[in-house]
Chain A
């Protein structure tokens, strides 16, 4: 294992960086898009609710790899050339945002409906009530399940390996076939994933305690 780090340290670190970059971008966008669709799922307007439902059901029920391959193969064929990294990240955003939307929606719905009524009765609009009263309470409920989604997202970023995204998993595959030391290589890769996910999971626990 040590020899793997010695010989391929640069490649592994590069992969770690790509994985981290992809995860951060995907996490930010998936959280924004997912929360947006979660809110659309509970608005009074039925049209928006249906749109949100369709989006969520489509991207939640298609394998991540299929979504990613679509962007990697089909989009460049007809529209515009995009790299493996970009198509993998887009796939990850779409896929994760659907799960995050469902998580946030359940959080919104676990806030007592009286909170919304109280706010509306004082003259706040639906959006103002959401922003000041319902969402802050909903996010407190969803931090633990959201933590799971974030960790899944980091691990799922390994989809980049299939589309030449040069992430940690991709470098692992290259190194394993180059060094012929599969076990040590994948052990190293596993450890590096833990370095990303363990702090994340501890941070989410800390947030949970702080806000509870």
Chain B
């Protein structure tokens, strides 16, 4: 069964038609990169997957449940679908360790000693154990983003969404974050949907590349086809030409 499936999804903000006729199927364990110019609807699309945005028409099935159905319990979906944001969104009033331990404690009722063990392991994984007792504001952007990834992983989700995770970072910090993401993609059976302009990452890690413009999906290829064969869509070819020479 597909982990995420969009069926004829439409999304409006008032009169603005933000997502048009979206059909997209992402299998469990796949890593899919979503690219496109700003305003093309990629952030909106990724935010619908864990219910931060509601869809108006169509079906959106995540982990077997339809998010368009008002009866679906979003909090249950989100247990299995983590999200990493452009601006990290770490809790400003909590230490790094507390950021990671809060949701497992409250939502999963994970016992305190196990919770701490998991959190420290994750901090090792992202290389930031020494920062455990600091506040987010005391860390660099790259460090904060790695903590945010650890926070999502602590829930042991089946699927992780990344909404431009490196766009707000200094160039030197980007690799640290991408390396953590590559490890997750390669070493686990996590389903990953990533909005990014890091074409190196897309080429190396993604199974598929989806190109969006003006609220529509214009191209959906395996990453070999997308990067080696030319994309069939003219607009996608143009876009790719621009960001690769860039």
Sort chain B's interface into a size bin: 20 to 34
Contact B91 A128 (CB under 8 A): no
Segment at the interface with B among A114-122, A150-158, A177-185: A114-122
Contact A122 B52 (CB under 8 A): no
Q: How many residues of A contact B (CB 8 A)?
A: 18
Cα(A119)–Cα(B151), bound, Å: 10
Cα(A114)–Cα(B47), bound, Å: 13
B153 to chain A, nearest CB (A): 11
Contact A124 B92 (CB under 8 A): no
Residue of A nearest to B105 (CB): A132
B109 to chain A, nearest CB (A): 12
Of B52, B106, B148, the residue contacting A132 (CB under 8 A) is B106
Query: Number of residue pairs across A and B with beta carbons under 8 Å?
Result: 65
Of B83, B89, B103, the residue contacting A115 (CB under 8 A) is B89
Q: Which of B87, B91, B94 neighbours the largest number of chain A CB atoms within 10 Å of its CB?
A: B91
Q: Cβ of B78 < 8 Å from any Cβ of A?
A: yes
Q: Cβ of B143 < 8 Å from any Cβ of A?
A: no
List the A side residues contacting B72 at CB < 8 Å: none
Contact B107 A118 (CB under 8 A): no
Contact A118 B89 (CB under 8 A): yes
Contacts A115-B91, A137-B93 hold; do A122 and B85 have CB atoms under 8 A apart? Answer: no
Contacts A120-B74, A123-B155 known; list 12 others, CB within 8 Å: A114-B89, A118-B85, A118-B90, A119-B103, A121-B52, A121-B89, A123-B75, A123-B76, A123-B79, A124-B106, A128-B107, A133-B94
Please list the residues of chain A having a beta carbon within 8 angstroms of any beta carbon in chain B.
112, 114-115, 117-125, 128, 132-133, 136-137, 140
Please list the residues of chain B having a beta carbon within 8 angstroms of any beta carbon in chain A.
50, 52, 74-76, 78-79, 82-83, 85, 87-94, 102-103, 106-107, 148, 151-152, 155
